[in-house]
Structure 1
Amino acid sequence: MLRYLIDPANAITTSGLLFSAISLFMAVSDRLEIAMAAALWAVLADHLDGIVASRTRNRRPDFAKIGKSLDGFGDIIYGAVLPAVVIIQLSDKSVLSFSTATALLLAGAIRLSYFANFGRSEDGRFLGVPLSYDVPLLALAFLVKPLLPPELFQTMTNIGFLLLAGAHVASIRVPPPNGAMYAAISIFAISASSFLLMRGLSA
């Protein structure tokens, strides 16, 4: 099984899973800024593996098949499980955070199941908001966290991600990211992860 990881794109996907594992460990250890910093690198890996896969010449079909499944598992972990755990920890395991986490997990599973079977719509757009939006939006929330009272921040984050869970499975069409958007997300992920890591280490 491990031989499939010698494929460059699959190796990048696996590195994203490792960053997700680091993020989960930091989240349950209540080091949420560091958790978000690691999660942003999982986002970067998710963007990069597709680019590498599309540019790998004569890629073996079995490598591509494993890569597709591996990428799906990576998406559910960093796109739904990670935000759910961070929000539960952030909200001191409140009933509201349980509702938010449950909604994220259900929406993530339903969305990825739909995408795995039907893919994008005929016009190339995604049906519903992709899970890849969750971590950057949560990281953005953490960047402004010091500006808000803790209880207000918790409530706003929970409500925002409850709405986002609904958007994941809503019948709205979202265009795929273009080159400029990929570049913007990458720049944001690198700069925000550095800032959150420094804040987390100094706490």
Structure 2
Amino acid sequence: MLRYLFDPANAITAFGVILSGVALSLAMDGRIEVAVAVALWAMLADHLDGIVARRTRGRSRIVGEMGKSLDGFSDLIYGAVFPCIAVLQLNGVTALSATVGTMQLLAGALRLSHFSIVGLSADRSFTGVPLSYDVPLLAMLVLIQPLVNQPLFSWLVLSSFTALATLHVSSIRVRAPARPMYIAILLFSIGASAALSIRTMI
């Protein structure tokens, strides 16, 4: 099985899974700011692997299928499992936060299952908001945390992720990112991860 990782796109996907594992470990340790910073790079790996896959010539069918399956698991980890853990860490384990976290897991699994069957539409749009929106939203919330008092911050986190879980499984149409959007995602992720990392050292 490891031979599939010699494919450049699959290697990037696997590296993203490793980053997600690091982010989960940091979140469980209560180091939420640096955890989100690492998760942003896991998300970037997810964007990059598709670009590399499309530009890699001579990929066999089985290598491509392996990459597609691995990519789905990567999406679930950084886009649903990590946000679930982060929500619990930011709010404590309560009945409400556990419900919101579980909603995020279920919505993520449903969203990815639907996409694995339907894929992109003819106009290159998704049904439902992609899971790649979760970590940037989490980054923005953690960045403003020092400016927002409790219990307002907890309410903001829980309501935001309740809304996002709903949007994941909605019938809303979202266009696949074009180059300007990829550049914007890259710049935001670099800036946010740097800001979060620096704040942990102050």
Runs of 4+ in 1 over 4 A off after TM superposition: none
Report the equivalent of 2:125: 125
Q: Provide structure 2 residue ranges, at least 5 long, that are not aligned to the other structure.
A: none
Kindly indicate whether the alpha-carbon contact (under 8 Å) linking 1:20 and 1:38 is maintained by their aligned counterparts in 2: yes
Look up the equivalent residue of 1:108 and give its one-letter code: G
Distance (whole Å) between structure 1 residues aligned to residue 2 and residue 46 of structure 2: 19
Distance (whole Å) between structure 1 residues aligned to residue 65 and residue 125 of structure 2: 22
Distance (whole Å) between structure 1 residues aligned to residue 19 and residue 191 of structure 2: 16
Q: What is the 5 A alignment of 1:7-156?
A: 7-156=7-156
Q: What secondary structure does 2:120 align onto?
A: coil
Report the equivalent of 2:194: 194
Which whole-Å deviations, capped at 9, do the CAs of 1:118-157 have from their partners, x for residues lacking one? 1122322100100011001110111111110132111111
- Point out the more displaced range, 171-180 or 192-201: 192-201
Q: What's the offset of the Cα at 1:21? A: 0.4
- Point out the more displaced range, 19-28 or 121-130: 121-130
| Aligned residues with identical type, % of pairs | 53
Report the equivalent of 1:157: 157
Matched, 1:179 2:144: no
The two structures, once aligned, show a CA RMSD in angstroms of: 0.9
Q: What secondary structure does 2:101 align onto?
A: helix
* Matched positions, count: 202
Distance (whole Å) between structure 1 residues aligned to residue 35 and residue 182 of structure 2: 22
Look up the equivalent residue of 1:70 and give its one-letter code: L
Distance (whole Å) between structure 1 residues aligned to residue 192 and residue 51 of structure 2: 22
Q: Provide structure 1 residue ranges, at least 5 long, that are not aligned to the other structure.
A: none
Kindly indicate whether the alpha-carbon contact (under 8 Å) linking 1:32 and 1:200 is maintained by their aligned counterparts in 2: no
Kindly indicate whether the alpha-carbon contact (under 8 Å) linking 1:20 and 1:77 is maintained by their aligned counterparts in 2: yes
Distance (whole Å) between structure 2 residues aligned to residue 200 and residue 95 of structure 1: 29
Kindly indicate whether the alpha-carbon contact (under 8 Å) linking 1:125 and 1:176 is maintained by their aligned counterparts in 2: yes
Q: What's the offset of the Cα at 1:23? A: 0.4
Kindly indicate whether the alpha-carbon contact (under 8 Å) linking 1:12 and 1:45 is maintained by their aligned counterparts in 2: yes
- Point out the more displaced range, 76-85 or 135-144: 135-144
Which whole-Å deviations, capped at 9, do the CAs of 1:75-102 have from their partners, x for residues lacking one? 0000000000000011011221111101
Q: What secondary structure does 2:151 align onto?
A: helix
